[in-house]
Structure 1
Amino acid sequence: MTDDLDRDAPVALHSQISERIRTRIAAGEWPAHYRLKSEPELAHDLGVSRGTLRRALTTLIEEGLLRQVRGKGTFVTSTTIEPAIAQKLSTLSEDFANQGIVTETDVIECRLIEPPRPVAALLDVSPGARVLKLVRLRSTDRGPVALLVNYVRADLAPGIEKTDFRTTSLFGTLEGAYHLKIGSARRTFSAEAASGDAASALELPIGAPVQYLQQVTYLADDRPVEYSDVWIHSEKLRVTSLLSRR
């Protein structure tokens, strides 16, 4: 967000800032779960005091467009209710391995692309930057159980598109080959009707129920590194969350 505020206008600066953020959210430029820059960074970019910026953010928080997570930052809210639960950050392949389930991975797509605008925003990459798009289908002896579409920042993992993901896990590659320390993730679960590629890959009729998982993964230094969409065949696979009460 650049300093394009009209300092001579009768409209207060904090109101102008609030309106610019509303516009970005409405246009999809800042999608749900997008993390804003820190207050000092935003105030510097806009050329305003932190007090002015905080007043603008407070307005949007009260409107329900933004939410602040202590120690994490300020995020664009989702349009659905999302209970805050603590979960073990593990991948499907790790969960399968821990349970002794034998799976087969079919890599449908693995190439560098210019990401869709909402994905670019969530990964905090500049326009024109390229990311890895990785599409995989996980199957057990019961047939296909999960379709995974991952987008990974290629600037943090150069050459990752050459990895054979049929036998190598994504998180294992990021941590092992690139020595990146994965710190946290934000997951959202919802029930959806299967359509298009998901229905075809999971061998389901159009409209059949599937469980949908959306995730943004952050490194230990809070940089976003990966975004994923996962469709799960709910009749063949159950997702269990390990919860802790604080």
Structure 2
Amino acid sequence: MSSEQWTNELDRELPRPLHAQISSAFRDRIAGGEWPDHYRLKPEPDLADEMGVSRGTLRRAITTLIAEGLLVQVRGRGTFVTARAIEPSIAQRLTSLSEDFESQGVRWETDVLESIVGPVPRPIASLLGISVEQPALRLERVRRTDAGPVVYLVNYVRTDIAVGIEHVDFSEHSLFASLEQNLGLTIESGRRTFSAVTASAEVAAALDVEVGAPTQYIEQITYLADGRSIEYSDIWIRTDRLRVTSLLSRR
């Protein structure tokens, strides 16, 4: 955009501060799609010069939009338009979705559909390293944000290792935090397999989508520091509300 166009948008005669006018102009570009998700703004010195304002004024406008969640600054890379769908780091690090939500300032809550100790399907028992006769906790939950249901999770947790885990109120506490902070276990590694699947009737009801709607499916196995598997998860994600993104480096 030319300096002349910015001059037409910013009125120095108005009682409204310039930084507030800049914030509004940026909001309009984001809302209108001119600045799409992940759009990188010009460097602040260049943008301030182009707009004919001081860097302090521009910085104040940008800080306002960062606080509103519309922009994000990445050290050494610049200022970007925030993705409108939640983008957890679960494809990059062994974080839980609740940890990702908290780090991104997303308000969320958990509905516990079932929490019961009982038998485990044979394939899952094999992955957990237990016999089919050995019971485990089956934990079924839906994670919601202000937009509605986002994630449907079914976890199987080894109760022979995580003793007492069945007594945790998972509407208030996350699984990983309960294992590490409450039970003193150390989660070391995990394996996540990603695939695209259509929603079954059960998944559709949990995520409030049509049967057959596309979802992101994740199969997860989590291991402790001593190498023992501690939990297995089936995870279905509403891709219109949450996207899985990987940041990759060639070297």
Q: Say whether the fold is shared (TM-score over 0.5).
A: yes
1:138 lines up with 2:138 in the alignment: no
* SS of the residue 1:189 aligns to: strand
1:111 lines up with 2:116 in the alignment: yes
1:119-138 equivalences in 2 (<5 Å): 119-138=124-143
- Highest CA radius of gyration, 1 or 2? 2
Kindly provide the CA deviation profile for residues 134-163 of structure 1, in whole angstroms up to 9, marking residues without a partner as x: 001001111100000000000001111110
* SS of the residue 2:101 aligns to: helix
Q: 2:192 aligns with which of 182, 187, 200?
A: 187
- 2:180 aligns with 175
Q: 1:87 aligns with which of 92, 96, 113?
A: 92
1:155 lines up with 2:139 in the alignment: no
What is the CA–CA distance in structure 1 between the aligned matches of 2:227 and 2:169, rounded to whole Å?
27
Distance 1:132 1:197, change over 3 A: same
TM-score (norm 1): 0.63
What is the CA–CA distance in structure 1 between the aligned matches of 2:164 and 2:190, rounded to whole Å?
23
What is the CA–CA distance in structure 2 between the aligned matches of 1:152 and 1:212, rounded to whole Å?
19
* SS of the residue 1:205 aligns to: coil
* SS of the residue 2:160 aligns to: coil
- 1:213 aligns with 218
Shift of 1:240: 2.2
Shift of 1:216: 0.4
1:200 lines up with 2:185 in the alignment: no
Supply the RMSD in Å over aligned alpha carbons: 1.6
What is the CA–CA distance in structure 1 between the aligned matches of 2:92 and 2:218, rounded to whole Å?
13
- What 5-or-longer segments of structure 1 have no aligned partner? 1-85
What is the CA–CA distance in structure 2 between the aligned matches of 1:234 and 1:104, rounded to whole Å?
18
**Matching residue's letter, 2:203:** A
Q: 2:231 aligns with which of 226, 235, 241?
A: 226
TM-score (norm 2): 0.62
* SS of the residue 2:236 aligns to: strand
* SS of the residue 2:196 aligns to: strand
The question of whether the paired residues in 2 share the 8 Å contact of 1:144 and 1:203 is answered with yes
* SS of the residue 1:148 aligns to: strand
**Matching residue's letter, 2:116:** R
**Matching residue's letter, 2:214:** P
The question of whether the paired residues in 2 share the 8 Å contact of 1:88 and 1:242 is answered with no
- 1:36 aligns with none
Equivalent residue pairs, number: 162
What is the CA–CA distance in structure 2 between the aligned matches of 1:123 and 1:211, rounded to whole Å?
23
**Matching residue's letter, 2:163:** P
Shift of 1:173: 0.5
- 1:99 aligns with 104
What is the CA–CA distance in structure 2 between the aligned matches of 1:182 and 1:195, rounded to whole Å?
31
